């Protein structure tokens, strides 16, 4: 036998068809079929919705899936540490209200926001011309480069999953570099003006719409991202850098007591089913992005008012005789805002430190639990003892019930508010019959 011809290195990619006998489209279709089968098995076995495993199978068998599935669509992307899922749901509702067929708008509504989750969602609506994509912070540069979104909503940067997002400034720089590289071909950016790192990254966009979200978390923004000087904060002027002049921008959209202010003196009332001042800020960003995509403001706001429980958030779960409103937060900025929404006495706080939560829970010490003084807190979940120690220092009365099931099946008067980290939240949704 003669010597075997070597395969060109460019063709040696796991899962990629070699030669003309397996066209890419057929290979991609087979990968999607295998992914759908895996998703079905996941649902049938009670392990979850199957969205993540579908995406993992698709992208393993066909590595080009992410790039190909985002290509050729009108894309609105949403990213940031807090509020991605709710903002994505609000924006999706706005866009679906403006098209003849709601199926023309595809979204990763379950919050699976890595490449695999995005590919999973898009694989179910191959021909949908519009995509609203919740996007993990690390995926934003690839999405911007490969998908060329029309609009990118940039919410905030905060410490989250500290073992994975080691330094939030490096994320901001990646966003800034991606926007600079694309220039006029890049997206319109809708940016939270209260966050210095977001502002610094967003200034690289060819067009930026600045939003006053009505909230500002400053514990992750002590230093100027441009020059490293200590930032100055003033009630009237906002934040500014004394070293290089980077400063808070004037808003194009802003949350106020009555609703939302927009360009040229426009004002709209804001009625939302989801609670909290942070969600009013999310709605302001969603409105600005919807307008960029061509939706009339009144149409967008009317549709957004119908969003009630994005991916299970704020749903009522039932645990025997106990009814519980389930809230999700994963980092100090999210917990500090969510505590303001909790109304019951007692309240239940559930914390875990699985991979999806981030294994480092030192951020517990940055949350203002003192605002719960006078109410009783039930600490539950695998890291309940860590939380109990923090509450002791805050002077907040509490009890320790490590078992989620035991904590949720105790007797409470009325509906009890529960705030949980990600994996504990998913467990509680399953226990309480909450689906989406």
Catalytic residue annotation: 360
Percent of the chain with pLDDT over 70: 92
- At 283-341, the pLDDT tens digits run 999 999 999 999 999 999 999 999 999 989 999 999 999 999 999 998 888 898 899 99
Question: What φ, ψ does residue 413 adopt, rounded to 5°?
Answer: -80, 120
Return the pLDDT at 48: 77
pLDDT band for position 219 (cuts 50, 70, 90): confident
Of 103, 107, 151, which is closest to residue 128 (Cα–Cα)? 103
- Report residue 113 CA to chain centroid gap: 8
Of 347, 369, 363, 359, which is closest to residue 415 (Cα–Cα)? 347
- Could you tell me the end-to-end alpha-carbon distance of the chain, in angstroms, rounded to an integer? 60
Of 236, 284, 237, which is closest to residue 258 (Cα–Cα)? 284
E strands, 53-144, in order: 74-79, 105-107, 130-134
d(CA 236, CA 214) in angstroms, rounded, equals: 13
Count the neighbouring beta carbons within 10 Å of the beta carbon of residue 52. Answer: 19
d(CA 381, CA 357) in angstroms, rounded, equals: 12
Is 379 annotated to bind a ligand? Reply is: no
Return the pLDDT at 224: 94
106 within 8 A of 121, measured Cβ to Cβ: yes
- The tokens describing 350, both together, are 């559930």
Of 420, 384, 416, which is closest to residue 400 (Cα–Cα)? 384
Return the pLDDT at 159: 67
Question: Is 80 exceeded by the pLDDT of residue 20?
Answer: no
329 within 8 A of 421, measured Cβ to Cβ: yes
pLDDT band for position 77 (cuts 50, 70, 90): very high
Instruction: Please indicate, yes or no, whether the overall pTM of this predicted structure exceeds 0.75.
Output: yes
Which ranges constitute the DSSP H helices of 293-362?
297-304, 332-339
Return the pLDDT at 221: 80
- Name the DSSP class of 409: T
77 within 8 A of 133, measured Cβ to Cβ: yes
Cα torsion 267, 271, 276, 281 to 10°: value is -30
Burial label for 167, CB within 10 Å (0-12, 13-18, 19+), is exposed
Of 77, 83, 72, which is closest to residue 107 (Cα–Cα)? 77
Return the pLDDT at 160: 56
Is 241 annotated to bind a ligand? Reply is: yes
Question: Is 50 exceeded by the pLDDT of residue 19?
Answer: no
The label of the residue with tokens 């099946």 reads 409
d(CA 40, CA 195) in angstroms, rounded, equals: 41
Cα torsion 326, 332, 333, 339 to 10°: value is 40
Contacts of 350 (CB under 8 A, 6+ apart): 380, 381, 384, 404, 407, 418, 419, 420, 421, 424, 425, 428
Is 285 annotated to bind a ligand? Reply is: no
d(CA 109, CA 117) in angstroms, rounded, equals: 10
Return the pLDDT at 65: 95
Domains of the chain: 64-310 (3.40.1190.10), 315-431 (3.90.190.20)
d(CA 422, CA 136) in angstroms, rounded, equals: 15
Average pLDDT, the chain: 90
Question: Is 80 exceeded by the pLDDT of residue 203?
Answer: yes
402 preceded by a cis bond (ω within 30 of 0)? no
Helices (runs of H) and strands (runs of E) counted in the chain: 14, 17
Of 60, 71, 66, which is closest to residue 31 (Cα–Cα)? 60
Count the neighbouring beta carbons within 10 Å of the beta carbon of residue 326. Answer: 24
- At 351-396, the pLDDT tens digits run 998 887 878 888 899 899 999 999 999 999 999 999 999 999 999 9
Using CA atoms, how far residue 107 sits from 122, 137, 400, in Å, is 7, 17, 39
Of 84, 78, 89, 81, which is closest to residue 273 (Cα–Cα)? 89
């Amino acid at each position: 036998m003669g010597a075997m011809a070597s395969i060109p290195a460019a063709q040696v990619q796991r899962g990629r068809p070699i030669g003309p006998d397996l066209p890419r489209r057929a290979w991609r279709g087979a990968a999607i079929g295998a992914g759908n089968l895996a998703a079905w098995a996941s649902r049938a076995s009670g392990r979850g919705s199957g969205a993540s495993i579908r995406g993992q199978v698709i992208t393993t068998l066909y590595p080009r899936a992410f790039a190909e599935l985002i290509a050729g669509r009108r894309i609105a992307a949403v990213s940031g540490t807090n509020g991605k899922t709710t903002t994505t749901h609000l924006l999706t509702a706005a866009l679906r209200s403006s098209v003849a067929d709601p199926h023309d708008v595809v979204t990763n509504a379950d919050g699976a926001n890595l490449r695999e989750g995005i590919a999973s969602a898009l694989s179910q609506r191959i021909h949908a011309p519009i995509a609203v994509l919740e996007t993990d912070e690390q995926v934003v540069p690839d999405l911007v480069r490969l998908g060329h979104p029309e609009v990118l909503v940039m919410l905030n940067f905060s410490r989250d999953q500290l073992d994975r997002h080691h330094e939030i400034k490096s994320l901001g720089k990646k966003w800034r570099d991606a926007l600079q590289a694309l220039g006029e071909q890049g997206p319109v950016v809708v940016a939270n003006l209260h966050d210095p790192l977001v502002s610094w990254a967003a200034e690289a966009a060819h067009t930026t719409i600045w939003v006053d979200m009505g909230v500002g978390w400053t514990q992750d923004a002590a230093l100027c991202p441009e020059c490293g000087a200590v930032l100055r904060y003033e009630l009237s002027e906002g934040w500014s850098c004394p070293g290089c002049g980077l400063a808070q921008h004037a808003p194009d959209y802003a949350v106020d007591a009555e609703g939302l202010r927009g360009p040229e003196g426009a004002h709209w009332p804001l009625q939302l089913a989801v609670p909290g001042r942070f969600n009013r800020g999310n709605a302001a960003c969603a409105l600005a992005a919807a307008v960029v995509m061509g939706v009339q403001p009144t149409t967008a706001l009317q549709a957004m008012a119908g969003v009630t429980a994005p991916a299970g958030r704020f749903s009522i779960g039932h645990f025997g005789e106990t009814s519980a409103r389930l809230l999700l937060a994963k980092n100090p900025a999210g917990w500090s805002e969510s505590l303001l929404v909790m109304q019951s006495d007692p309240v239940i706080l559930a914390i875990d430190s699985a991979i999806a939560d981030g294994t480092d829970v030192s951020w517990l010490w940055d949350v203002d639990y003192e605002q719960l003084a006078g109410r009783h807190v039930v600490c539950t979940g695998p890291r309940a003892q860590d939380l109990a120690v923090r509450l002791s220092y805050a002077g907040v009365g509490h009890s320790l019930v490590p078992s989620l099931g035991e904590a949720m099946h105790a007797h409470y008067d009325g509906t009890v508010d529960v705030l949980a980290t990600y994996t504990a939240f998913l467990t509680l949704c399953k226990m309480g019959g909450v689906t989406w």
